[in-house]
């Protein structure tokens, strides 16, 4: 069945700002649906983020363990973080890699960019593969409580199967890095 | 370097409800960090969701095209939707598959559950593979403007590489389905 773009588009009628936060903002938009009816859309505005797969010369991956308050769990993830205002994704990837693992990368390769939750947020996350790792002198911020550890691909496969690695960005980044 | 769980945990001090919406709620929590300092956490509460990879007997996949207001794009995704109150994930997967594609599945297999954005939301999404597809009589809601189409694995690989398929749940579900 063919379609045209006008079958889908929603026309913005008005927008109400509900919250301006430290990390996210929230607004509610009223839209006209393709059938002329009125709908509302709740939108979480996010600055965007990066995630990095740090691959050692032995073919292992450095992961970060940290407490995630929204899900009340200690999670094991690839190094990641939010874009600072005006920061380029590649610069952010290098910064987060250094801050969270203490390494710089001689080779940083973009994998893809993806939307984490296009149904309710505009968050985009840029995924990178970091190789040629060399020690940097950066260390985590005082208020970042993280623990880094290196895992083999076999360990990572087992932790994906067991659900220990279970966040979207880590899964996509690890798959695309060929782990 | 060894670690203990107390290196990470944040103690909830108080919680302020900021917004109760149609799809999401928002609250701001004050927490005590492991070093005794006080931090704030903005948390988007989400009811949870499912996503389904509908695999035809020819080995092709049915995808859904729809406008996503938060990112202002027409996106191509696997069928998905939010859990109704009290709904089991598998029942939700069967309902969304029928509503969005018009098919029921003789075999519905759980892949994994994952968090989409554990940094600011508790959204969990349960991923399924649906095989043994048979026509059902369900059709989309009047207010859901979607278009379904079947794609070969080669077409899907090309659309992942080009960025046309670019949302986290679709990427993880397609990878785990072996597409």
Alpha-helix residue ranges (DSSP H) falling in chain B = 89-101, 153-162, 168-176
A57 has pLDDT over 90: yes
Question: A34 and A99, same structural domain?
Answer: no
Tell me the nearest-neighbour CA distance from A132 into chain B, angstroms: 23
Residues 6+ apart with CB under 8 A from B66: A8, B74, B75, B77, B144, B145, B146, B147
Amino acid A30: pLDDT: 98
Distance CA B34, CA B20 (A): 30
Q: What residues in B contact A110, CB-CB < 8 Å?
A: none
Cβ–Cβ below 8 Å for A166 and B113: yes
Question: A119 and A162, same structural domain?
Answer: yes
Amino acid A140: pLDDT: 66
Residue B156, Cα to own-chain centre: how many angstroms?
Answer: 18
Tell me the nearest-neighbour CA distance from A47 into chain B, angstroms: 12
Domain assignment of residue B30, given as a range: 5-45
Distance CA B83, CA B113 (A): 13
| pLDDT tens digits, one per residue of A2-48 | 678 788 889 999 999 999 999 999 999 999 999 999 999 999 999 99
Residues of chain B with pLDDT under 70: 1-2, 140-143
| pLDDT tens digits, one per residue of A145-164 | 899 999 999 999 999 999 99
Cβ–Cβ below 8 Å for A147 and B33: no
Find which of A22, A34, A168 to mutate to test the B interface (most B CBs within 10 Å of its CB).
A168
Cβ–Cβ below 8 Å for A122 and B168: no
Question: B88 and B58, same structural domain?
Answer: yes
Q: Which residues of B are catalytic?
A: 144
Question: A65 and A119, same structural domain?
Answer: yes
Distance CA B171, CA B78 (A): 9
Amino acid A147: pLDDT: 93
Residue A143, Cα to own-chain centre: how many angstroms?
Answer: 20
Question: B128 and B153, same structural domain?
Answer: yes
Tell me the nearest-neighbour CA distance from A35 into chain B, angstroms: 8
Count of beta carbons in the 10 Å neighbourhood of residue B92: 22
Amino acid B141: pLDDT: 67
Please choose, from the candidates B166, B27, B113, the residue with its C-alpha nearest in 3D space to the C-alpha of residue A44: B27
| pLDDT tens digits, one per residue of A65-76 | 999 999 999 999
Question: A148 and A78, same structural domain?
Answer: yes
Question: A39 and A74, same structural domain?
Answer: no
Question: B34 and B86, same structural domain?
Answer: no
Question: A109 and A66, same structural domain?
Answer: yes
Q: Which residues of A are catalytic?
A: 144
The C-alpha R_g of chain B, in whole angstroms, comes to 19
Q: Indicate the average pLDDT of chain A.
A: 95
Amino acid A144: pLDDT: 75
Q: Is B163 left (phi over 0), alpha (psi -120 to 50) or beta?
A: left
Question: B113 and B41, same structural domain?
Answer: no
Amino acid A142: pLDDT: 67
Number of structural domains chain B divides into: 2
Amino acid B137: pLDDT: 78
Cβ burial of B104 (10 Å; 0-12, 13-18, 19+) is middle
Length of chain A (residues): 179
Q: What residues in A contact B143, CB-CB < 8 Å?
A: 33, 35, 37, 39
Amino acid A6: pLDDT: 80
Cβ burial of A59 (10 Å; 0-12, 13-18, 19+) is exposed
Question: B36 and B118, same structural domain?
Answer: no
3-class secondary structure for chain A?
CCCCHHHCCCEEEEEEEEEECCCCEEEEEEEECCCCCEEEEEEEECCCEEEEEEECCCCCEEEEEEEEHHHCEEEEECCEEECCCCCCHHHHHHHHHHHHHCEEEEEEEEEEEEECCCCCECCEEEEEEEEEEEECCCCCCCCCCEEEEEECHHHHHHHHHHCCCCEHHHHHHHHHCCC
ipTM value: 0.96
CATH number of the domain to which B111 belongs: 3.90.79.10
Question: A59 and A40, same structural domain?
Answer: no
Q: What residues in A contact B120, CB-CB < 8 Å?
A: 23-24, 44, 46, 70
A1 has pLDDT over 70: no
């Amino acid at each position: 069945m063919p379609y045209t773009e006008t079958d889908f588009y929603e026309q913005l009628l008005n927008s109400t700002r509900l919250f301006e936060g430290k990390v996210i903002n929230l607004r509610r938009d009223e839209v006209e649906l393709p059938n002329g009816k009125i709908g509302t859309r709740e939108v979480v505005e996010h600055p965007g983020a990066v995630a990095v797969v740090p691959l050692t010369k032995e073919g292992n991956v450095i992961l970060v363990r940290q407490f995630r308050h929204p899900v009340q769990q200690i999670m094991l993830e690839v190094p990641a973080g939010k874009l600072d205002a005006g920061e380029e994704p590649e610069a952010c990837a290098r910064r987060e890699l250094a801050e969270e693992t203490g390494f710089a990368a001689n080779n940083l390769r973009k994998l893809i960019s993806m939307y984490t939750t296009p149904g309710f947020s505009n968050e985009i996350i840029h995924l990178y593969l970091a190789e040629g790792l060399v020690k940097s002198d950066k260390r985590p911020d005082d208020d970042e409580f993280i623990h880094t550890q290196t895992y083999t691909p076999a360990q990572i496969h087992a932790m994906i199967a067991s659900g220990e690695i279970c966040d979207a960005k880590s899964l996509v980044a690890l798959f695309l890095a060929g782990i």
